[in-house]
């Protein structure tokens, strides 16, 4: 019996340490969740509705002329094709697939402009635009089939 091996049973103080570490871990996790929720609530309450920010935006279409200074061909990769005219971006085409059985979006016309691989050829050209203003310097030819971007040169 003297050579008998005693089982390795943790002492009472070792179990207290394990329970203490588990308890501290739960407190840290609960505190982190609380902080994240508080941050999320403060960000949500500080956001202003978009409609309040756009009170000066006309509800009718806006007509203007200008020079194309930049193009974006993103609609070829499920994005947005747009044209920058002076300092105003005009959404011309939205790429991607429509959900099955959905109606196509109403869109105006591109007259003399074709979104191909080389839209940079239009930079420096003069255009006339009739579009809906969506933000201070953002416009779209969507939502009305009478809207257009017309190449003048």
pLDDT of residue 148: 95
Q: Where are the domains of the chain?
A: 12-47, 61-151
Q: Residue 149 forms beta bridges with which residues? A: 110, 129
**Among candidates 78, 81, 125, which has minimal Cα distance to 98?**
78
Query: In the prediction, which pLDDT does 42 show?
Result: 55
Give the CATH number of domain 61-151; options: 2.40.50, 2.60.120, 1.10.10, 1.10.3470: 2.40.50
Q: Which residue has the higher pLDDT, 100 or 47?
A: 100
Q: pTM higher than 0.85 for the full model? A: no
Provide CB contacts within 8 A for 119, sequence distance 6+.
Answer: 71, 73, 81, 83, 113
Structure confidence at residue 31 (pLDDT): 77
pLDDT number for residue 33: 75
R_g over Cα of the chain: 31
Instruction: Please report the beta strands in the chain, taking only residues with DSSP state E, as ranges in sequence order.
Output: 61-73, 80-85, 88-94, 109-111, 126-135, 138-140, 148-151
What's the Cα-to-Cα distance from 150 to each of 7, 39, 76, 147, rounded to whole Å? 89, 47, 21, 10
pLDDT in tens, 15-40: 788 888 888 888 888 877 777 777 66
For 50-88, the pLDDT digits (tens) are 334 444 556 689 999 999 999 887 776 667 888 999 989
| Residue range 80-135, pLDDT digits in tens | 888 999 989 999 888 777 778 888 888 899 899 887 667 788 899 999 999 999 88
Which residues are 82's β-sheet partners? Answer: 72, 91
């Amino acid at each position: 019996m003297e050579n008998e091996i005693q089982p390795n049973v943790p002492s009472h103080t070792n179990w207290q340490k394990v329970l203490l570490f588990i308890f501290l871990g739960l407190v840290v996790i609960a505190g982190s969740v609380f902080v994240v929720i508080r941050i999320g609530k403060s960000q949500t309450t500080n956001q202003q509705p978009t409609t309040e920010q756009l009170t000066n935006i006309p509800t009718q279409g806006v007509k203007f002329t200008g020079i194309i200074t930049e193009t974006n061909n993103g609609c070829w990769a499920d994005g947005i094709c747009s044209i920058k005219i002076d300092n105003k971006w005009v959404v011309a085409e939205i790429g991607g697939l429509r959900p099955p059985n959905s109606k196509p979006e109403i869109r105006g016309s591109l007259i003399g402009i074709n979104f191909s691989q080389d839209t940079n050829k239009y930079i420096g050209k003069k255009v006339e635009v009739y579009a809906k203003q969506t933000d201070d310097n953002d416009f779209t030819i969507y939502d009305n089939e009478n809207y257009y971007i017309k190449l003048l040169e």
